[in-house]
Structure 1
Amino acid sequence: MPEEPNISEPPPPPQLPPRTGYLTKLGLPQVTLRATIVGLLIGSVILISNFQFGLQTGWVSMMSLPAALLGFAVFKLTPLSQNFTDVENVYIQSIAVAVGTGPLCYGFVGIIPAIEKFMTSDESGLGRRITFSTKELIIWSMGLGLFGVFFAIPLRKQVIVKEKLPFPSGSATATLISVLHGTEIYESDNEEEEEDVTKTTNGSPLRQQTSTTQLIESSDYNSNMRSLTYTFVVSSIYTLASFFFPILKKVPVFGTWASKQYLWDFQPSPAYIGQGIIMGLPTVSYMLFGAILGWGVLAPLSKYMKWAPGPINDWVTGGQGWILWVSLSIMVADSLVSFVVLSTKSVRDFVKDYRSRQESYTQALELSQSLLDETEGNNDGSNKTTICKLDPLEVPKEFLVSNKVALIGTLLSTILCVVTMRIIFGKLVPIYASLTAILLAMLFSVLATRTLGVSDINPVSGIGKLSQLIFAFIIPSNHPAKILINLISGGVAEAGAQQAGDLMQDLKTGHLIGASPKAQFIAQIIGTIFSVFLSSIMYQIYMAVYTIPSETFRIPTAVIWIDCSRLVTGEGLPPKAMEFAIAFGVIFGMISLLKNTMSPTSRYYPYLVYLPNGVAVGVGIYNTPNFTLARFIGGLIAYNWHNISNRGKTSMIIFSSGLVLGEGLFSGFTMLLTSLGVKHF
């Protein structure tokens, strides 16, 4: 019998010099059949989870940490763990993320249902409602899924190697992988990620700076796996129980009247609680403020004043539809202000960094020349000096994706995107509109990637809205398909930013671990193509099995997309909605400006946490209270985690991931029960 692998302790870290260890890892097997299969399976679980919660609430997640943990767990349960490396784990995680984020990237939780479910016959430009076949969805997804990946390739050297943007989620994933495998993560200390080593002929260094590696403290793998398993089981049991007893999704903790009139219910969903833990207390507190503002103040006010006299849950005549405009205004104002401010800072930092590098390069040349001049002045010629540059974490060309591949891939994927739009929509969408949307997507991808690298937030929502606003001026107001084109443009921009951001987060993880960027690029391509097909099929399954929109699947993001298109193209609003939207938009725009411009050295900076974030408030307004209340409980758990448990933040994320994945995965089983006509109790 083969010896059972020991999983109680990670293996000791390899005793290799930093550069030797880094280059050795690059050459290890990474693109393997077994890792590809495991990555696709894990990504499929994440994709199903993101579909479930995306259609319910608009919330999706990269899930890079649980993907890395699950990949490690799969191999730890088999004899293959003996030669399973951390760089192969990075490859698995990269594939899983590319698969799992498909529902957002291809618009299946927003744009596609907005076109199918809410766009009128007149707005389509065809005189009829638009419904996509599975084949058309695959073509659409393929057009959106690739250009962001190719365009992101040249960004790696700038934002990861040179500027060393932190990419917090990518760095956290690298930390987790290093902990699981008992290995090191690599990062150069010197600002230039490059060493100038000047040596004399006898080998004595004149100037040398050595890179360092950071050894991450080990944690209890078995404890983390138990936590993931227990929370997964609890969440799964709740999912099955709530299917047979729907009351578990709508507990009227505030009384029957508040439940029926204003939808104030509590849904004790473990997944919602887990999402709240991931989000953190400040974010869920802002969401709770939004829920109270929207469903406790504005919705009752609109009904009382007869501005929205219909049932509260009516998107057209009820308070839900009325407060949506306030939510949209708040989110757009906050997103655009923060996007402009962060983009301006990013461009400024880029220019500053470029000038600094030019000065450093000039100084290095001057120093080299002076050293050569001094050497030439020696009559005996015994101390001839040679100058060599050594990057301690330099990746050889054979492990990089060349700029030629990036350029050709970008051109071909751009052509593919234009062609796919032509195939699906014909002449309704002009070619110039498709090309303009792609160019905007590329510009926004650069800015979004830098924003993600600094703040860990990919502002895809704000990018989509900004693209919609720009296209309102590009497309003639009398164009019959102006609403459709507006939605498509936002979808293209969102897809490009999402793909570029995902790849850059993964590349940061790989850079710290020592994985091959080419292997991660291959993972992204494989995961994207697989996700194109699986996402399209899963969307059609959801639409066939469930009534959507419904009380369970409200697809609020789709409503926001279509209403934003109507807003920027000049459609009318409900009574008094414009006035309230403008007022709240101005207020939260000013708050966003203050939060994004105040210096951390200001004595008032610590108090900014008490000013609400506009996007979080907007989410609290457009989602029903049961969405927010459970997440607020999760935020409280996160805030008191260290008092409840002696374990660290990584364990907290693993705990919450089990809650999310359990309900997300078992939603596929409840879908099967629904399709079979199984009755509720």
Structure 2
Amino acid sequence: MSSSGVKAAGPGTPQLTVRAVILAVVLAMILSAANAYLGLFAGLTIATAIPAAVVSMGVLRLLGGGTILENNIVQTGASAGSSIAAGVIFTIPALIILGYWQDFRYSWVLAIAGLGGLLGVLFSVPLRRSMIVEDPLPFPEGKAAAEVLKAGENPGPGLKILAFSAALGALIKAAAASGMKLIPDTAAGAGFFGKYLGYMGTNLSPALLGVGYIVGLNIGIVVLSGSILSWHIAIPIYHAMFQGTDPALAASIATAGAEEAAFAIWSTKIRYLGVGAMLIGGIWTLFSLRKSLLSGVRSGIAAARKGADTNIAETDRDLPMKWMLIALVIFVLPLALLYHAIVAADPSVTSPWAIGILMTIIMIIAGFLFVSVSAYLAGLVGSSNNPVSGITIATILFASVVLMLLLGRESPIGAVAAIMIGAVVCCAAAVGGDNLQDLKAGYIVGATPWKQQLMLGIGAFSCALIMAPVLNLLAQAYGIGAPTAEHPNSLSAPQATLMASVAKGMFGGELPWGIIAIGAGVGAVIIALDEWLKATGKTFRVPVLAAAIGIYLPLELMVPIFLGGLLAYLVERRHGMVGSADESARDRLHRPGTLFAAGLITGEALMGILIAIPIVATGRPDVIALPENLQFGKYVGLAILAVVAWLLYRTGAKANPNAA
């Protein structure tokens, strides 16, 4: 046993214990709620394996000490929180935005998220041998989690960092515009310079700084560059030269201020450049991974044959293929009934059972295909950078094309049916990528794969149990989608808004296809640039889907993400590790900063949920707001954000990359 009370792995080491399962489920639920808020607010979620591992070591130490494999089981189950939250908030709010639902229906959300997550586990099992054992991918976050588990360090300092930064993030969120209104949510400025429309702003959220620190400077530069393309190039050009092509938009911005005009042009026109870039990026991703997909299918068949071998090592034993096929049938049947219920609601549909079955087949095929893509991308760039939204757009487009042939372009339920298929696939893809990330950590520390796969399924379904209540609470308190008079600072739910726009545009609605086509061209240029960087051996890369997210989201969200990435770079530079090939040392270097960043995110998100409770209970969005004479302006908010940035940098800069 180490000084931390973490027992090393060995033959017969306890793994799937009752206390580990309970702790994993509790952490998964908390982290899924936090990620749901973060995703609706900023369009991003973060992987939670490392914070969960640190918390697990601390809690199990209080209970007499845990084994490294117990802690691994806890982080495996808890990591489902970010996956299920991503799968849900990227898609299901689209049903509210489309007006199909007035609130989130518990049984339907549970079926989509819970069964979609379980399918993600099943679809990803055959990929383990190919992507982790035979032709291993890096899986950076899995390796980092394994380093934390293997170190067996005293979890006390890590828990203190998490607790302090979580309290700091929660306090600042309570002081912000949705709480006491001491400081605004953003600091922005805009103006007209002749025909040129200029806008610059930053969100004052510490959570976004944390996101940037975790994803790093490369991704931070890419997403900010995408936003600069939208806000500093495309919007000014449209305002100066093309606003006359849309008389309704021109009339709405004629009397608007510069900031309102910029957002009007962005929301109705320019953000669709990001849609086009995402579409071409999703197609390119599928094409570039075609060999990996075939390899995954072959390895799954080989694993099924090998499963009959009773002499297989415990550390190489997956869930039995026979039971997986039985579970697949059991999980798919309720979804087939759900799809039938959607189609049968339209009296003009003559064969609802046939179409429901076809929807199920599309879901299964797309599910396995995109789980493979998600797992591969998680292996390359990590779960936090996994572009699940691009995968989901491709699914919705494909499903829409098939459904249009059967239901017609004017079908009132076509868009809803496509979203429902995409929602299950999105949950499966998010969980599938996370499963491989966790299995990589388990492979390094000597865990049993089938126990991890079972734990991830338990964690995923547990998170699905609370998703509908959390979403309903947030929707009632803040609103979801476009701002309204009742909810002027609504949670934008960018991915879900995008999914709704794409599905609605395919069925009777209108989309600015010209701008989407230009965006696809921009995406093709970005792909060509990234391939050139890859061919020349450059470490800096330009992933097209990250750039597309930057194009699609508001500039104010990307600025703090870039600044967080810059802080991570400065920490590496301080220790002379910029460009270092020693990934283990870099993981150890960033561990304190990563924990601080994760605390900021978790604290802010959980406070956002807590603030929603009195808002919903009283029906007053300003229920805890202070009088106006006690409120401060954006400069105080900027000063607070600067202090948080300094604390984050100082925490990372004090790290010792040579420590165990």
TM range (shorter): 0.7 to 0.9
Map of 2:350 onto structure 1: none
SS at match of 2:187: coil
Going from structure 1 to structure 2, the CA distance change for 1:162 and 1:562 (only over 3 Å counts) comes to: same
Q: Distance in 2 between matches of 1:626 and 1:315?
A: 12
Q: CA deviation at 1:546?
A: 2.3
Q: What is the letter of the counterpart of residue 588 of structure 1?
A: G
Q: CA deviation at 1:608?
A: 5.7
Q: Distance in 2 between matches of 1:177 and 1:449?
A: 22
Map of 1:68 onto structure 2: 53
Q: CA deviation at 1:396?
A: 6.9
Map of 2:150 onto structure 1: 178
Map of 1:98 onto structure 2: 80
The alignment status of 1:658 with 2:596, answered yes or no, reads no
Segments of 5+ residues of structure 2 without an aligned counterpart are 254-258, 303-308, 347-354, 484-488, 577-587, 627-660
Which of 290, 298, 309 does residue 344 from structure 1 map onto?
A: 290
Map of 2:625 onto structure 1: 680
Deviation readout 1:534-564 (Å, 9 max, x if unpaired): 1121111112222223334111112210222
Which of 458, 468, 473 does residue 396 from structure 2 map onto?
A: 468
Which of 136, 141, 165 does residue 164 from structure 1 map onto?
A: 136
Q: CA deviation at 1:661?
A: 1.4
1:512-591 superposed matches below 5 A = 512-549=444-481, 550=483, 551-568=489-506, 571-573=509-511, 577-591=512-526
Map of 1:453 onto structure 2: 379
Deviation readout 1:330-365 (Å, 9 max, x if unpaired): 222223213321x134257779999xx9xxxxxxxx
Q: Distance in 2 between matches of 1:570 and 1:315?
A: 28
Going from structure 1 to structure 2, the CA distance change for 1:548 and 1:462 (only over 3 Å counts) comes to: closer
Which of 266, 278, 281 does residue 319 from structure 1 map onto?
A: 266
**Contact persistence 2:173–2:604 (CA under 8 A):** yes
Q: CA deviation at 1:479?
A: 5.8
Q: What is the letter of the counterpart of residue 362 of structure 2?
A: T
Q: CA deviation at 1:314?
A: 8.7
SS at match of 1:265: strand
The alignment status of 1:234 with 2:168, answered yes or no, reads yes
Q: Distance in 1 between matches of 2:310 and 2:436?
A: 25
Going from structure 1 to structure 2, the CA distance change for 1:294 and 1:88 (only over 3 Å counts) comes to: same
Q: Distance in 2 between matches of 1:436 and 1:353?
A: 23
Q: CA deviation at 1:11?
A: 6.2
What is the aligned residue count?
570
Deviation readout 1:500-544 (Å, 9 max, x if unpaired): 222222122112112222321221222122112111211111122
1:348-387 superposed matches below 5 A = none
Q: Distance in 1 between matches of 2:599 and 2:158?
A: 10
Q: Distance in 2 between matches of 1:33 and 1:11?
A: 18
**Contact persistence 1:276–1:631 (CA under 8 A):** yes
Going from structure 1 to structure 2, the CA distance change for 1:427 and 1:339 (only over 3 Å counts) comes to: same
Q: Distance in 1 between matches of 2:110 and 2:261?
A: 32
The alignment status of 1:507 with 2:439, answered yes or no, reads yes
**Contact persistence 1:31–1:91 (CA under 8 A):** yes
Going from structure 1 to structure 2, the CA distance change for 1:335 and 1:91 (only over 3 Å counts) comes to: same
Q: CA deviation at 1:329?
A: 0.8
**Contact persistence 1:468–1:568 (CA under 8 A):** no
Going from structure 1 to structure 2, the CA distance change for 1:548 and 1:444 (only over 3 Å counts) comes to: closer
Going from structure 1 to structure 2, the CA distance change for 1:79 and 1:221 (only over 3 Å counts) comes to: closer
**Contact persistence 2:126–2:299 (CA under 8 A):** no
Map of 1:432 onto structure 2: 358
The alignment status of 1:490 with 2:422, answered yes or no, reads yes
Going from structure 1 to structure 2, the CA distance change for 1:270 and 1:146 (only over 3 Å counts) comes to: same
Map of 2:68 onto structure 1: 86
Going from structure 1 to structure 2, the CA distance change for 1:466 and 1:177 (only over 3 Å counts) comes to: same
Map of 2:203 onto structure 1: 267
Map of 2:44 onto structure 1: 59
Map of 2:369 onto structure 1: 443
1:131-210 superposed matches below 5 A = 131-179=103-151, 181=152
**Contact persistence 1:338–1:593 (CA under 8 A):** no
Going from structure 1 to structure 2, the CA distance change for 1:267 and 1:466 (only over 3 Å counts) comes to: closer
**Contact persistence 2:73–2:452 (CA under 8 A):** yes
Going from structure 1 to structure 2, the CA distance change for 1:424 and 1:145 (only over 3 Å counts) comes to: farther
Map of 2:94 onto structure 1: 114
The alignment status of 1:418 with 2:336, answered yes or no, reads yes
Q: CA deviation at 1:326?
A: 0.9
Map of 2:281 onto structure 1: 334
Q: Distance in 2 between matches of 1:246 and 1:447?
A: 44
Deviation readout 1:90-134 (Å, 9 max, x if unpaired): 1111111123432222x3x232221212x26xxx6xxxx665432
Which of 622, 629, 642 does residue 559 from structure 2 map onto?
A: 629
Matched residues, percent identical? 21
Q: Distance in 1 between matches of 2:538 and 2:13?
A: 46
Q: CA deviation at 1:648?
A: 0.5
Map of 1:215 onto structure 2: none
Q: Distance in 2 between matches of 1:400 and 1:421?
A: 31
Map of 1:210 onto structure 2: none
Going from structure 1 to structure 2, the CA distance change for 1:490 and 1:167 (only over 3 Å counts) comes to: same
Select between 560-569 and 230-239 the one with higher mean Cα deviation. 560-569
SS at match of 1:572: coil
Q: CA deviation at 1:241?
A: 1.6
Q: CA deviation at 1:674?
A: 2.5
SS at match of 1:554: coil
Q: CA deviation at 1:400?
A: 4.1
Map of 2:159 onto structure 1: 225
Going from structure 1 to structure 2, the CA distance change for 1:249 and 1:520 (only over 3 Å counts) comes to: same
Deviation readout 1:160-209 (Å, 9 max, x if unpaired): 23323332211211111111x2xxxxxxxxxxxxxxxxxxxxxxxxxxxx
Q: Distance in 2 between matches of 1:136 and 1:348?
A: 33
**Contact persistence 2:103–2:472 (CA under 8 A):** no
SS at match of 1:605: coil
Q: CA deviation at 1:299?
A: 2.5
SS at match of 2:330: helix
**Contact persistence 1:329–1:584 (CA under 8 A):** yes
Segments of 5+ residues of structure 1 without an aligned counterpart are 1-5, 15-20, 182-218, 358-388
Q: CA deviation at 1:406?
A: 1.0
The alignment status of 1:638 with 2:565, answered yes or no, reads no
Going from structure 1 to structure 2, the CA distance change for 1:563 and 1:635 (only over 3 Å counts) comes to: same
**Contact persistence 1:320–1:622 (CA under 8 A):** no
Which of 22, 26, 34 does residue 37 from structure 1 map onto?
A: 22
1:400-415 superposed matches below 5 A = 400-415=318-333
Going from structure 1 to structure 2, the CA distance change for 1:165 and 1:559 (only over 3 Å counts) comes to: same
Q: CA deviation at 1:220?
A: 6.5
Going from structure 1 to structure 2, the CA distance change for 1:328 and 1:509 (only over 3 Å counts) comes to: same
